[in-house]
Structure formats: C-alpha cells, structure tokens
Amino acid sequence: MGRAFLLALLPFLAQISRTVAECCCSIGSRARFPFFQEAAHCGFYTGIRISVEIFSFRTVFLPVGKRAGISLLQVLVAIAIIGILAAILIPSFQGLLRKAGRVKCTNNLRQLHLVFSNYLQDVDHWPQIPVKLTESESDYQKWWIGTMEPYGAPPNLWLCPVMEKARIKDASGDLILMHYIPTQFDMNRISPTRWPRQPWLIERGDAHGGGSLILFPDGSVKGLGQILQDQ
C-alpha cells in the first residue's frame, strides 16, 4: 500500500514543481522590477530542484522489479522532505504576493491622481462632499465612488487587493467599498496643490508593511514608513 501511494504521489508532485518552475521563469523574463526578477528566479531554481529531488528519490527507493518494495518509514521520509521544501518555498511566494499587492495599490492611487486632476480641471475645485453624508460610512463611500466614476474611476479602482480579499467591514457590518480615503479641501482652486506634502489620498491601514500608502499632489506614492525615514 505504501509503495502504491508513493508511486502515485511522486510524479504528481514533480509535475507541480516543474509547472511552478516554468511559471517563475516566465514571470522573471517579463518582470520590470528587480524584486520580481529575483523572486521568480528563486522560485524557478527551487522548483527545478524539488523536481530533481523527487525523481532522484523515486529512482533510489523504487527499483524496477517485482520484488521491489518500500517501507512506511521511507514514505514518511519522502513526505517530510516535501514538507520542508514547501516550508522554504511558500514564504517566498507570500512575500511576492505582498509586493504585488503593494504595486497594484500604487497603480490604483496613481490612476486616482489622474481622476482627481481631471475633476479639478473640469470643476475648478476639490470635490465637496455634503456634511450630512459624513455621518454614514456607507453613504460617504458611495458618494465618492459615484462622484468620481464619470471622471474615470470605476468602483474597483478604490479597492486594495489585500483588503478586498480580507473582506474588511465597517462598524455597521457593511463591506468597505473604498480603501483609499480622500483628504478634504475647501473650494479654493489652489488648495489641493498649495502644499506639496499635503496628501490627496491615504490608504486605509497598513496592508503591505511599511505603513499606509499616501498619494501626493505631484502623483508620487510613498509608504508612511518611508516618509518617516526621510524626515
């Protein structure tokens, strides 16, 4: 029973390892950022090594012949090796996912900068949300989304992929619809651009490590941790 189990398990795991290696190689060749290239190459070589180790194990412990057998101890050793390799590989991919989420949020904020800039050119002042809507979190979010959507901001542009996956809710139990909070300015047309370090939008919470992402009037996006270090 142990021999049949391992015969069925090892080729499947080896195929997964080769697939991961091929995907990582493709990502590394297309990535623009050094971090993605390094992580993808690490995943590629790790995937290849896992595949080689699995087939090496299969060759050593599963010789051809009717009398070939395998003990329960050998099955447990194989599973332990696979578990150790998975424990090494999974954190690398988790870090890659966090980095990808940060890049996605940065792109969202930069697109929102273009949206708010278009609004300023069209209306000649910052959006003025009615005071009564600030008392309701749901109405507050719906107003911002509805107001900025005609200027090129679909509802999903307000969502951080990490927070969206976590399905964060407000105090009323409603699902949060926007993860970037706009700053309030008066109706003076120069107020939004008068102070270069005055945020336009701030990410709701630290979803990626390094502090909440902040969008500035010039379109730059920085984490709160980086800002504090620069001061």
Q: Calculate the alpha carbon distances from 201 to 53, 59, 131, 215, 228 in Å.
A: 49, 58, 19, 5, 17
User: Which pLDDT value is given to residue 176?
Assistant: 92
Q: What is the DSSP string of 120-172?
A: HHHHSS-----GGGGG-HHHHHHHHHHHHGGGT--GGGG--HHHHHHT-B-TT
Other C-beta atoms closer than 10 Å to the C-beta of 5 total 14
User: Are the C-beta atoms of 96 and 138 separated by less than 8 Å?
Assistant: no
Place of tokens 């009615």: 130
CB 215 within 8 A of CB 113: yes
Contact 3, 78 (CB under 8 A): no
pLDDT at res. 33: 45
CA angle 102, 221, 158 (to 5 degrees): 60
For residue 36, the model assigns a pLDDT of 43
The one-letter amino acid code at 218 reads: D
The three-point CA angle 145-138-110 to 5° equals 35
Question: For every one of its 231 residues, what pLDDT tens digit does the chain have, with 9 covering 90 and above?
Answer: 445 555 555 555 555 555 555 555 554 455 444 444 454 444 444 544 555 455 454 444 444 444 445 566 666 777 777 777 667 666 665 666 677 888 999 999 999 999 999 999 999 999 999 888 877 888 999 999 999 999 999 999 999 988 888 888 887 888 999 999 999 999 999 999 999 899 999 999 888 888 899 999 999 999 988 888 877
What's the pLDDT score for residue 40? 45
Segments making up each domain of the chain, as ranges: 2-70, 104-230
- The tokens for 52 are 């080689």
Categorise residue 65: left if φ over 0, alpha if ψ from -120 to 50, beta otherwise. left
Against a cut of 0.85, is the pTM above it?
no
